[in-house]
Amino acid sequence: MRILVPSPAGSSPDIRARQISTKLSEAFGQPVIVENRPGGAGLIAAREAAKSPPDGHTLLLALINNAIGDVLKPDPCCRLNQELLPVSRFTMTPLLVVVNPSLQVRSLVDYIQLAKQRRGAMTYASHGPGSIAQLVGEWIKTETGAEILEVPYKAVNAELTDLVGGQVVTAFPVPQVVVSAVKSGKLRALAVLGPARINVLPDVPTAAEAGLPGMEALAWNGIFVPAGTPRPTIDILHRELVRAYNAPDVKSQVLATGSYVAADTPEEFAAFIRTENEKWGKVIREAKIKPE
């Protein structure tokens, strides 16, 4: 068996895949290999997975990038919920709204008011067209009327040095990469873009608590298999994946990074994908975002 991962070795998705590969190997009594296929915003790994035999031996750990790509630039080779069938979501990671402390704001409402006053003088870091950071930044703009200038970076987290230095004043990272900087006062977290506060930064309110209800953006991942995989095979995979996700060592490590385990059913995962497509599709249309 193998798990295709659309990101490099050592990345967070790669670490997640290796956590569950060990558990699956024990459950099925055979090696489960993690194979990294970065590039193409997840399309390279998705294409290979979709072309693989539908026998339960090739799994894809798809990311939110795959779902965004299905809306921004759909490729009929390997769309989630169509050429690739959901088995179960693994982790959900709420993004944060983080600012440089030079901005004299203590709340998300204050930030939006200041952005309206400065009219394009404030900046946010993105990772290029169609990145989740760009979608969040443009969503805030269309929802609130604030004007924030996008500053694109070539790689995820490449903006952190500039953020601490004040060259860019806003970013939307995952918690684990900025927790220490927030706790030391080098950065200020204004909101959690999720349904609940997170244990690693318990004093940071959700966007809803901060005055912007409905503003949620979570980095997620989950397992898919090629279309045509028999339902009994999917059910067996689902059973063992949920067991792996909820293993105490896996679950505690996930929580320690500001994430949580979803472990949903194939039907629930499929419905979640549809909701994500609708939400980000609306943002893409309203912000007139185009693929590269």
- Could you tell me the residue ranges of all domains in the chain? 2-93+218-287, 94-193
User: 91-115 burial, b for 16+ CB within 10 Å, e for fewer?
Assistant: bbbbbbbbbbeebebeebeebbebb
Number of Cβ atoms within 10 Å of the Cβ of 199: 11
Q: What is the mean pLDDT of residues 39-51?
A: 94
At position 187, the amino acid (one-letter code) is L
Tell me whether domains 2-93+218-287 and 94-193 share a fold: yes
pLDDT the model gives residue 18: 96
Q: Which fold has domain 2-93+218-287?
A: D-Maltodextrin-Binding Protein; domain 2 (3.40.190)
Predicted pLDDT of residue 95: 97
Helix 248-256 / helix 231-245 crossing angle, nearest 10 deg: 70
Q: How does pLDDT run across 51-106, given as a tens digit for each residue?
A: 999 999 999 999 999 999 999 999 999 999 999 999 999 999 999 999 999 998 99
Segment holding 3, helix H or strand E: strand 2-5
> What is the length of the chain?
292
Instruction: Provide the pLDDT confidence category of residue 280 given band limits of 50, 70 and 90.
Output: very high
Q: Which numeric CATH code is attached to 94-193?
A: 3.40.190.10
For residue 41, the model assigns a pLDDT of 86
Mean pLDDT across the stretch 218-222? 97
